[in-house]
Structure 1
Amino acid sequence: MSHAARLSDLTTGHDSTWRRQVADAFSHASGRYEQLAGAQQALGQALWQRLPSQAGAILDLGCGPGHWSQRLQTRFGPNCRIIGLDIAPGMLATAQARHGEAVQWLQADAAALPIAPASLDLVFSNLALQWCLDLEAVFTELHRVLRPGGKALINTLGPGTLQEIGHAWGCTASQLDFRSADAHRKAAIRARFAGMQVIEHQARFHYADLGGVMASLKGVGAHTRRPGAPPGRAALQQARARYEALREPAGLPVTYACLTLVLDKDTMP
């Protein structure tokens, strides 16, 4: 999309370029991620309510600056091994500086996890999966590293996310391409997960002005460079006017169409 991920334009041949762009964007955002990531943290709190009562080894996939990794460490105690994994080295540097060595920080791609088979009880991932091009490859890796009876708890984004931003910038539906709940179900089935739930829900957040909206996206790395020349003053004014037409009493709305996935690995080896 123009100011967020444009998955529909990406092909396998561009995987390495896309990974580098995502890593760079999130690295640049690492210092102020938590300050501007109110929506992400609010959505993650709902995922938190689904945690199991106990776990001995947990992967925080797409850990960012380590907010959830640290909370998982506190929740499950010092005897639980927590791995905070992210593709962006800047995020991991911030996480390590803030939270120290109680968590194992690991830079890697979600589709190629440097983690032993059947070694984890839980994968926790809040709003990272939408940046992964190959769902089946990621789910296959999660199935591989989970122990029999293990679980993956995932928040990701579906169609309808950032629809107001698409309206303001005049994006087509294909430019705001988030994958459907059915696409996630099919990928999980192909990865051999025995049980799954996919819960669809929407959350709306409000900002004072267009600058606040765009800062919230850039602050969490959720943007890519707009194709072609940077928008001129006229385009910015037009986008601002379109967005202002959507204003509500609480401010300018931003919609997140969240998909919560609960994936269970078969209890049989």
Structure 2
Amino acid sequence: MSITILPLTDWQTKVARAFSRAAPRYDALASAQRHIGETLWQMLPPGASSLLDLGCGTGYWTQRLALRYPHAHVTGVDIAPGMLEHAQARYGPQIEWRQGDAALMPFGGDSFDVVFSNLAIQWCRDSGAVMSELQRVLVPGGQAHITTLLPGTLAEVATAWQRPEALLQTPDAHELKHVITHSGLTLVQQTTEWRRFHYPDLRAVMDSIKGVGAQVARPNARLTRRELSAAQARFETLRAPQGLPVSYHCCTLHLEKTR
């Protein structure tokens, strides 16, 4: 596979660059993402013939899909070319790797009977377009199993840095339900839960976020030593016996294309 460089918006370019840069260290640092994805994994159907891992990243889940469904055609799509290069180098050409945007997928209609997507679509600013694309690429009767993030995610980080505007802006559960209904997809199940992970120190916290690409660089984002020390002190006031807490407000979706 040769990675096709797509024309991207400024926001998409920043997201793609951040995740491409994180690719070499992603698997070592993405423990929270893995734990959240395991819940989604349990919801998958027993059989499938054509599967899409939407926002496949380094290909961890894509490879697991290929092993779970050995006779299926499995495709991984991601907006970050660096992630795709890493995935292809590790897992090879038996999986189809494509660069693409979840809101404008590079596939024809009725292409997949299962779409799997773990913690990816929150990076798309147009949730309605993502749902419409899912409706388009799924076969009639096809399923999409998705985890995404809701407002309140990483609240402890916002408190420590006193920069709530730096957090990813995501639709709430009600907004998601509205765009799903408008897309023509059927919402079979929607569950929300808080997942809290703990880290030994501030460096480990930031590695778990910046180290996996989940922070887009902002102008004038460089912190002084004094600001860093203040942030560390604020975060320490939140310390639990298990360590410094980082919360993810998770939404798990089971969608079907019924028409």
Question: Shorter chain as normaliser: what TM range?
Answer: over 0.9
1:74 matches 2:32 = no
Q: Whole-Å Cα distance in 2 between the matches of residues 108 and 71 of structure 1?
A: 21
Q: Distance in 2 between matches of 1:44 and 1:231?
A: 32
Distance 1:39 1:97 in 2: 24
Alpha carbons 1:142, 1:152 under 8 Å: kept: yes
In structure 2, what is the Cα distance between the partners aligned to 1:173 and 1:104?
A: 37
How many residue pairs get matched? Answer: 252
Q: CA deviation at 1:208?
A: 0.8
SS at match of 1:34: helix
- The answer on 1:52 being equivalent to 2:45 is yes
Please name the residue that 2:116 is paired with: 124
Aligned counterpart in structure 2 of residue 238 of structure 1, from 220, 226, 230: 230
The match for 1:26 is 19
**TM-score if structure 1 supplies the norm length?**
0.91
Q: Aligned residue for 1:11?
A: none
Is residue 2:135 matched to residue 1:143? yes
In the alignment, residue 178 of structure 1 is paired with which amino acid?
A: T
Task: Give the whole-Å Cα distance in 1 for the aligned partners of 2:28 and 2:59.
Answer: 13
Structure 1 contact 112–141 (Cα < 8 Å) conserved: yes
Instruction: Look up the SS of the partner of 1:64 in the other structure.
Output: coil
C-alpha distance after superposition, 1:193-237 (max 9, x if no partner): 133322001111111111110011111100022442511011101
How does the TM-score come out when normalised to structure 2? 0.94
Q: 1:63-116 deviations in whole A, cap 9, x for unaligned?
A: 000000000000011x20100000000000000011001110000111111111
Q: CA deviation at 1:174?
A: 8.3
The one-letter code matched in structure 1 to 2:206 is M
Matches of 2:168 and 2:86, distance apart in 1: 30
What are structure 1's unaligned runs of at least 5 residues? Answer: 1-14
Closer/same/farther in 2, CA of residues 174 and 25 from structure 1, 3 Å limit: closer
Q: CA shift at 1:172, angstroms?
A: 3.5
Paired with 1:153 and 1:101, the residues of 2 have a C-alpha distance of: 24
1:39 to 32, 35, 38: 32
Per the alignment, in what secondary structure is the counterpart of residue 98 of structure 1? helix
Q: CA RMSD in A?
A: 1.3
> Match for residue 100 of structure 2?
108
SS of equivalent residue, structure 2 residue 9: helix
2:148 matched residue in structure 1: 156
Verify: 1:252 aligned to 2:244, yes or no.
yes
One-letter code aligned to 2:26:
Y
Corresponding residue for 1:213?
A: 205
1:95-150 CA-partner distances (Å, limit 9, x unpaired): 00110011100001111111111121011000001100100111101100101110
- Which 5+ residue runs of structure 2 have no aligned equivalent? 1-7
**Counterpart in 2 of 1:3?**
none
CA contact (8 A) 1:63 1:125 kept: yes
Match of 1:182 among 174, 177, 186: 174
> Matches of 1:165 and 1:201 in 2, distance apart?
19
Q: Between 112-121 and 126-135, report the one with greater CA deviation.
A: 112-121
Amino-acid identity (%): 49
TM superposition shift of 1:183: 1.0
What letter corresponds to residue 43 of structure 1 in structure 2? I
Answer whether contact 1:195 1:265 (CA < 8 A) is retained.
no
Distance in 1 (CA, whole Å) between partners of 2:221 and 2:140 is: 51
Tell me the CA shift for residue 160 of structure 1.
1.4
